[in-house]
Chains A and B, each alone.
Chain A
Amino acid sequence: MSALDTVTAVVRGRHRRALRRRAMLGLLAVLIVAGFLVTLTSGRTYYPLSDVLDVVLGETVPGASFTVGELRLPRAVLAVLSGFCFGLGGVTFQTMLRNALASPDIIGITYGASAAAVFAIVTLDLSETGVSAFAIVAALAVALLIYLLSFRDGVVGTRLILIGIGIAAMLNSVVSYLLSQAGQWDLQEATRWLAGSLNNATWEQVVPVAAAAVVLTPVLLAQARNLTMLELGDDTAAALGIRLERTRLIVIVGAVGLIAFATAATGPIAFVAFLAGPIAARLFGAGGILLLPAALVGALLVLVADFVGQFAFGTRYPVGVITGVLGAPYLIYLIVRSNRSGGSL
């Protein structure tokens, strides 16, 4: 190929990838909007789209105002927002540590929130806001602990993952102990929270998650390119001009913040943070920046899983049960595959 041909080919290839990316992002956005509208109109009672729009615009429609405005709308908004946060936080960790297993719901950060929330419910008898605040602080503290424990001349991905899994196991036993001590009423509330659920979604729950997403998403997106350089290994990333520890710190705080706020509102919706990144990588192809794609995949995942959990079966299942059923086989697949290729993790 002559030099000019190569330039043309490079430009064409870049445009092709950009086009595919935009098309896929557009498709995901359309699916989210469509899913959003379906969950608003359908359910035990059907309300036509015009009624739904009237309610959204603040008009009073008998019946629909309550069902759509007070029940379905905050629930759908919380589904999209929490899914967005889980997806974005999860893929950030996975990219930074170059390992799909490095998702916050596997390495113990989400467990930190769970243990704190159960403690707040069972032992301290806190209100809903208190439980959320407790969960957020605990998630950040556990993330810090894992980071410090695995720090030795910088952070190595596999060491952090193994320490995280260990901490997750410890926190899990803390949760079991607390549950065994819980009274009847607290037990119900705690287990509902642990399953990850959008039942009883209210606007009061939506606000903090929305605020976290608005503040932290730009922080992470601004680091997106640095983050993809980290994927090439620390030495290469440094040679390309990345400040390793600073990038890691910003990114960890941002991702943990998103995960913590979302978990505080909905409970740990199983495996969304873990699944969104790999699904986005399949859809968008590796090599690009997967932050926004994974965030949209997460949003769609929670929205659809919640709708399926509510209406696809005879009984209503919390959303975490549905995503758990989807995620567990993938986790097994990942472990089996890395065993086969001889990798340690």
Chain B
Amino acid sequence: MTTDHSLTVENLVLGYKDRDVIESLDLVVPPGKITAIVGPNACGKSTLLRSMTRLLAPRAGHVLLDGEEVHRIPPKELARTLGLLPQSPIAPEGITVADLVSRGRHPHQRVLARWSREDDRAVAAALDATHTAELADRSVDELSGGQRQRVWIAMALAQQTDLLLLDEPTTFLDVSHQVEVLDLLTDLNHARGTTIVMVLHDLNMAARYADHLIALAAGRLHAAGEPAEVLTEECVRAVFGLESRVILDPTSGKPLMLPLGRYHVSAPADS
């Protein structure tokens, strides 16, 4: 259902105050796929996501959704197609899971319209998909980090957008919850064909879960394509300034990056 949407970035320049964070970037987000954006700290990953949801106006260039400038689309209309889960969303004190997830329905509601059957169904589906239905009446404050992240994803799901952007959805989670969240997003992509774009820190998780990998360095595109093409030793060196070995992950057939620090390395890089 989402394959009819296109999200592209042309000649994009983004910045805050006197500093350009993104310089002349061209990108195509493949529809119906999972895209991961990787890059070092402060390379402009989050800034790029913010501009895709009209939170930040471009200095130059375009962000186009279905060929239309994102910044010209009325906000509520945009919010019915494109969702964003920011890096650190804020839950009001004492709010229940059900209430929080229900707020995802906002773009679908008119000012004075009543809560509809459709809204109920969307909230219930979001709770089911994220396995948070049993938590519905709990207060968000009481939940563990992993549960809380699932609840936020549920809110984004209740928004029922065909494209979903996530800014580091796995940061602060332990490894089992990281896998849980990424599996959940993959379920969503497979079941509904939702286009997913996420910023990830962990290169190996990104290579494993993404169909399409985008590597940014210093505000420029370094490489984009299938993980096997993008995640190479040269790429890691160029983007992160780190020596590494990239081997084939025996469990997934995707590339696996092993960093080479100054210690604890017995086999040299040039094997």
Q: Judge if B16 is at the interface, Cβ distance under 8 Å.
A: yes
Whether A10 pairs with B127 at a CB distance below 8 angstroms is yes
Inter-chain contacts of A17 with B (CB < 8 A): 99
CB contact list, B66-92 vs A, under 8 A: 75-80, 82-86, 88-92
Is there a chain B Cβ closer than 8 Å to A328's Cβ? no
Whether a CB of chain B sits under 8 angstroms from the CB of A30 is no
The 8 A CB mask of A236-280 against B (1 = contact, 0 = none) is 101111110000000000000000000000000000000000000
Question: Contact between A241 and B107 (Cβ–Cβ < 8 Å)?
Answer: yes
0 or 1 for each of B46-81: is its CB under 8 Å from A? (1 = yes): 000010011100000000000000000001111110
Tell me if A316 is interfacial: C-beta within 8 Å of chain B: no
A233:B89 contact, CB within 8 angstroms: yes
B95 touching A286, Cβ below 8 Å: yes
Contact A222 B136, CB 8 Å, known A10-B98, A98-B90, A281-B94: no
Q: In residues 40-54 of chain A, which contact B (Cβ within 8 Å)? A: none
Question: Are A287 and B100 in contact, CB atoms less than 8 angstroms apart?
Answer: yes
* Residues A287 and B92 in contact, CB atoms below 8 Å apart: yes
Contact between chains at A238 and B53 (CB < 8 Å): yes
Interface residue A149 (Cβ < 8 Å from any Cβ of B)? no
* Interface window among A1-9, A73-81, A176-184, A185-193: A1-9
Closest B residue to A7 by CB, please name it.
B124
Total A-B Cβ pairs within 8 A: 111
CB < 8 Å: which of A3, A234, A240 contacts B124? Answer: A3
A98, A233, A288: the one within 8 Å of B86 (CB): A233
Inter-chain contacts of B91 with A (CB < 8 A): 232
Give Cα A298 to B177, complex, Å.
44
| A residues in contact with B100, CB < 8 Å | 287
User: How far is B114's CA from A14's CA once the two chains are assembled, in angstroms?
Assistant: 12
Residue B270, interface by CB 8 Å: no
Hey, what's the 0/1 contact readout for B194-236 against A, CB within 8 Å counting as 1? 0000000000000000000000000000000000000000000
Q: Is A114 an interface residue (CB 8 A)?
A: no
Q: Is the CB of B111 within 8 A of A222?
A: yes
Residues from 103 to 145 in B contacting A, C-beta threshold 8 Å: 103-104, 106-107, 109, 111, 115, 120-121, 123-125, 127-128, 133-134, 136-137
A6 CB contact (under 8 Å) in B90, B93, B133: B133
Select the residue from A3, A98, A229 with max chain B CB neighbours within 10 A: A3
Which residues of chain A have C-beta atoms less than 8 A from B94's C-beta? 281, 285-287
Cβ of B88: which chain A residues have Cβ within 8 Å of it?
Answer: 233
In the bound complex, what is the Cα–Cα distance between A242 and B84 (angstroms)?
13
Contact assessment for A236 and B124 in the assembled complex, using a CB-CB cutoff below 8 Å? no
Scan A277-302; emit 1 where CB is below 8 A from any B CB, else 0: 00001000111100000000000000
Name the residue on B nearest A234 (C-beta). Answer: B55
- Determine which of B90, B109, B123 lies in contact with A232 in the assembled complex, contact meaning CB atoms within 8 Å: B90
Among all A-B residue pairs, the 5 with the closest Cβ atoms: A241-B79, A287-B99, A286-B94, A241-B76, A235-B86
Give the distance to chain B from A59, nearest Cβ to Cβ, in Å: 41
Contact with B along A209-235 (1 / 0, CB 8 A): 000000000000010010011011111
User: Does the CB pair B75–A9 fall under 8 Å?
Assistant: no
CB pairs A–B below 8 angstroms (20 shown): A1-B134, A10-B98, A10-B136, A228-B92, A231-B92, A232-B91, A233-B86, A233-B89, A233-B90, A235-B84, A236-B84, A236-B89, A238-B84, A239-B79, A239-B86, A240-B159, A281-B93, A286-B93, A286-B95, A286-B99
